[in-house]
């Protein structure tokens, strides 16, 4: 498989296999595993448009009541008009076998088949990516921590990766932009359904000088399970993940655990022992995450990578 992405005045050209993967992604009822099973059976998807309902039922181990609608969708949907629309909207499509695809992501157990990207895709080639995540209901302490950490991180060319959520995610994106740094937002759902809506102005700012990524086609509305799945990409892009304020059940702990599974560094900013927003971070520190008091605590680990 050759490189399937070429840029010229914002345009891109996709090969036949990528178009077929995109067609599958637009079929309701097909997820990452289903595409994996179909690719495992036929790596080039050469006969995709000739697949019968019985074949799909057999490969995916699903009843005909589910495979018949998939065959109908494959026959009805057209990929080229979608791709033209995405191009006109400034959305690039980067398949896993493209040289533009971040190498670190390829090491994940379930790497995205395709990245939908809008903004400065050149950031994908930057080596020193650092994830910063934390509580959605973060308070002024969380904001102040990020303000204290960010100047040296930006000065040392760290690309700040987060999830465009309320709280710590928004603080991290905003402060990176304010300090003239680079930032990447990984979203749940597609580009036509930014969540939360209150962060749409922030998303627009990121698009001016940063990058937004999704593993889902633009029309896909975010589902509850998209958010923890999105977290594996946040940690997967980065050399390390910094957790700033997290309760015992914070979604940012999922990102930290993904980072550990991926063999990446996990950093935690401690908090007061009587603050519920410190329970998760303090527990991670007791489990072996590196305690962060200054930016140097982070940089000493990731610069040597």
pLDDT value for 81: 85
In CATH, the number for domain 121-302 is 3.40.50.450
How far is residue 31's CA from residue 283's CA, in Å, rounded to a whole number?
A: 34
The structural domains of the chain, with segments of one domain joined by +, span 121-302
| 244 pLDDT more than 60 | yes
Reported as a single tens digit per residue, the pLDDT across 88-129 is 999 999 999 999 999 999 999 999 999 999 999 999 999 999
Reported as a single tens digit per residue, the pLDDT across 138-158 is 999 999 999 999 999 999 999
Reported as a single tens digit per residue, the pLDDT across 4-21 is 333 333 344 578 999 999
pLDDT value for 305: 55
How far is residue 15's CA from residue 62's CA, in Å, rounded to a whole number?
A: 29
Report the DSSP beta bridge partners of residue 267.
242, 290
Whole-model pTM over 0.85: yes
**169 in Cβ contact with 138 (< 8 Å):** no
């Amino acid at each position: 498989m050759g490189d399937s992405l070429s840029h010229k005045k914002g345009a891109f050209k996709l090969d036949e296999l990528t178009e077929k993967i995109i067609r599958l992604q637009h079929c309701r009822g097909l997820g990452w595993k289903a595409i994996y099973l179909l690719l495992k059976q036929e790596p080039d998807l050469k006969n995709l448009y000739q697949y019968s309902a019985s074949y799909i039922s057999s490969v995916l181990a699903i009843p005909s009541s589910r495979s018949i609608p998939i065959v109908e969708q494959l026959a009805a949907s057209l990929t080229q008009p979608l791709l033209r629309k995405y191009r006109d909207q400034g959305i690039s499509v980067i398949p896993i076998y493209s040289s533009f695809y971040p190498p670190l992501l390829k090491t994940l157990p379930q790497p995205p088949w395709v990245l939908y990207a809008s903004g400065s895709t050149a950031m994908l080639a930057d080596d020193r990516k650092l994830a910063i995540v934390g509580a959605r209901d973060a308070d002024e302490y969380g904001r102040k921590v990020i303000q204290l950490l960010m100047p040296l991180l930006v000065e040392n060319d760290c690309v700040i990766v987060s999830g465009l959520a309320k709280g710590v995610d928004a603080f991290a994106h905003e402060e990176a932009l304010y300090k003239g740094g680079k930032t990447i937002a990984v979203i749940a759902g597609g580009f036509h359904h930014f969540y939360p809506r209150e962060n749409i102005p922030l998303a627009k700012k990121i698009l001016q000088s940063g990058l937004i990524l999704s593993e889902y086609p633009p029309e896909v509305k975010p589902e509850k399970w998209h958010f923890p799945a999105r977290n594996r990409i946040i940690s997967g892009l980065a050399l390390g993940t910094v957790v700033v304020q997290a309760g015992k059940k914070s979604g940012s702990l999922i990102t930290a655990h993904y980072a550990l599974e991926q063999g990446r560094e996990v950093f935690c900013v401690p908090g007061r022992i009587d603050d519920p927003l410190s329970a998760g971070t303090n527990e991670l520190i007791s489990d072996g995450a590196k305690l962060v008091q200054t930016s140097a605590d982070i940089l000493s680990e990731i610069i040597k990578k």
